[in-house]
Amino acid sequence: MNSRVTPASKQYLPPEVLARIGRLDLRAQAVVEGVLAGMHKSPYKGNSVEFLQHREYTRGDDLRRVDWKVWGRQDRFYVKEYENETNLRLFLLVDGSASMDYIPPRFEQAPGLTKYDYAATLAASLAWLGLSQGDAVGASIFDEQIRTSVPAKTNRSHLNSLIAGFEKPRQQHASDFHAVLRNLAENLPRRGFVIIFSDLFGDRNALCKGLQLLRQRGHDVAICHILDDDEIDFPFDGPTRFEGLETGGEISCSPRALRNGYIQAMENFLAEVRNRSAASQCDYQLARTSHAVDKTLVNFLSRRSRIRGRS
């Protein structure tokens, strides 16, 4: 299936406008209804006809799909299901570690979305979209372990449970990608589409091992790499005190003396996570929190549509 995303409007909502909407469900509604009203079909369903599972025969099923070998062993009728005949199982994994709560100095002039706010809004919007199409959607919030987990369900009212999970108070420890992704790989009931929303600050070797575990279990995996402009561009000038959100401690320095080295380190970091994502066969997209959430969502879905159209 080569689906297309056709936004009803190009007038995207600036993050500072979304930030004034206090409730996460209303932010997600604004994103979904304002931009994706023209979307047709699911852009992240596959077109594979690979065998997926058996289910018990029910009246009206095509007898040509009955697995007679299973009938011979169990004396019961089962039919074969294939991937393109089942709805998507979408699982949203949101980083709730302390670094996701970075508050830029510019927020003193105009409120905006923290990285966690941005990730949760994007995830809730995808959940809204998935549930509206009959997909099963589940979610977890993690730091060094999975703190909140909402099982995948298909009913529209399930969105309330997902929103409540995203809004739960967080302990804000550091991230442990390997432990979290291993837990997820071992406990997800069957393969589906896993989307990770994170700043990826942590052990990259552990991240890569965790991604490989998910891929080995047959999951399709995408990473939405969420960073603040300050973290990418390092715009600080004049004496500045930097405080560690996860490791603690602080340092006072002149940013100008650090800028070139920092920018080079950030470029190396971004190149590494892109390359490691590609090596693990995981889709990757960088998302700046200064960019409109709805635009990021459209870009993500359009990218997925192109990828699935080539598969």
**DSSP annotation string for 185-230:** HHH-SS--EEEEEE---S-HHHHHHHHHHHHHTT-EEEEEEEE-HH
- The pLDDT of residue 266 is 96
User: What residue ranges define each of the domains in the chain, with the CATH number in brackets?
Assistant: 15-42+88-310 (3.40.50.410), 51-82 (no CATH)
Res. 42 pLDDT band, cuts 50 70 90: very low
| Separation of alpha carbons 151 and 138, rounded Å | 5
pLDDT > 70 in the chain, percent:
81
Q: Answer whether 217's CB lies under 8 Å from 185's CB.
A: yes
Residue 66: the pLDDT is: 74
| pLDDT classification of 256: cutoffs 50, 70, 90 | confident
**pLDDT reading at 184 higher than 80:** yes
pLDDT at 39: 52
- Residue 44's pLDDT band (cuts 50, 70, 90): very low
Alpha helices in the chain (DSSP H): 15-19, 24-35, 68-74, 115-132, 158-166, 177-187, 204-216, 229-233, 255-279, 293-310
Q: In a 10 Å sphere around its CB, with 0-12 CB exposed, 13-18 middle and 19+ buried, how is residue 176 labelled?
A: buried
Query: Are the C-beta atoms of residues 293 and 13 closer than 8 Å to each other?
Result: yes
Lowest mean pLDDT among 25-39, 250-264, 285-299: 25-39
Q: Would you call 149 exposed, middle or buried from its count of C-beta atoms within 10 A (0-12, 13-18, 19+)? A: middle
Q: Buried b vs exposed e over 186-220: b needs ≥16 C-beta within 10 Å?
A: eebeeebbbbbbbbbbbeeebbbebbbbbbebebb
Supply the pLDDT for residue 25: 92
Pairing of strands 78-82, 51-56: antiparallel
pLDDT attached to residue 54:
64
Q: In whole angstroms, what is the distance from residue 163 CA to residue 143 CA? A: 18
- Coil, helix or strand at residue 12: coil
In this model, does residue 28 exceed pLDDT 90? yes
